[in-house]
Structure 1
Amino acid sequence: MKIKADTGVCVGAGMCALTVPEVFDQSDDDGTVVVLDPDPPASREAAVRRAVQLCPSGALSIEE
């Protein structure tokens, strides 16, 4: 699994960072998504998928 983030689409809601803070953060400048671990371990797969689903702007996706 590889995480893709489109910062141009991100609205800075922060749902990803709240859901999986080990994988996502927000930039200090504008609050857009920062992917800390673009290839997270399998143990975080369910949480990452949930974060992608919760993203209100659709800025996150998963590449298998």
Structure 2
Amino acid sequence: MRIISDLHLCEGLGMCEAMADQYFEVGDDGQVHVLDDRPRDHDRQLVDAAVKSCPVSALRLGS
């Protein structure tokens, strides 16, 4: 599983960071920065929930 972000869609709302701050950070530029794009298996549900929380669908999980 790999986290993929679309910076063209990102509005920097920070829902992902609020849910999984070890994987996501909204920078001073107002864009999400993926801190670790290959989350550990035991964090899969957490990361999946954070990705789904994005109100503009700027995040997705890939292989």
Q: TM-score range by the shorter chain?
A: over 0.9
Unaligned stretches of 5+ residues in structure 1: none
Q: How many residues align?
A: 63
Q: Which residue does 1:50 correspond to in 2?
A: 49
Measured after TM superposition, the shift of residue 59 of structure 1 is 0.3
Measured after TM superposition, the shift of residue 43 of structure 1 is 1.3
Q: Output the TM-score relative to the length of structure 1.
A: 0.93
Unaligned stretches of 5+ residues in structure 2: none
Q: Following TM superposition, where does structure 1 have runs of at least 4 consecutive aligned residues deviating by more than 6 angstroms?
A: none
Q: Which residue does 2:7 correspond to in 1?
A: 7
Q: Which residue does 1:16 correspond to in 2?
A: 16
- CA distance, structure 1, for counterparts of residue 8 and residue 20 of structure 2: 21
Q: Output the TM-score relative to the length of structure 2.
A: 0.94
Kindly provide the CA deviation profile for residues 5-30 of structure 1, in whole angstroms up to 9, marking residues without a partner as x.
Answer: 0011001110000000000001112x
Measured after TM superposition, the shift of residue 32 of structure 1 is 1.2
Tell me the C-alpha RMSD between the 2 structures. Answer: 0.7
Measured after TM superposition, the shift of residue 60 of structure 1 is 0.2
> Which residue type is aligned with residue 33 of structure 1?
V
Identity %: 38
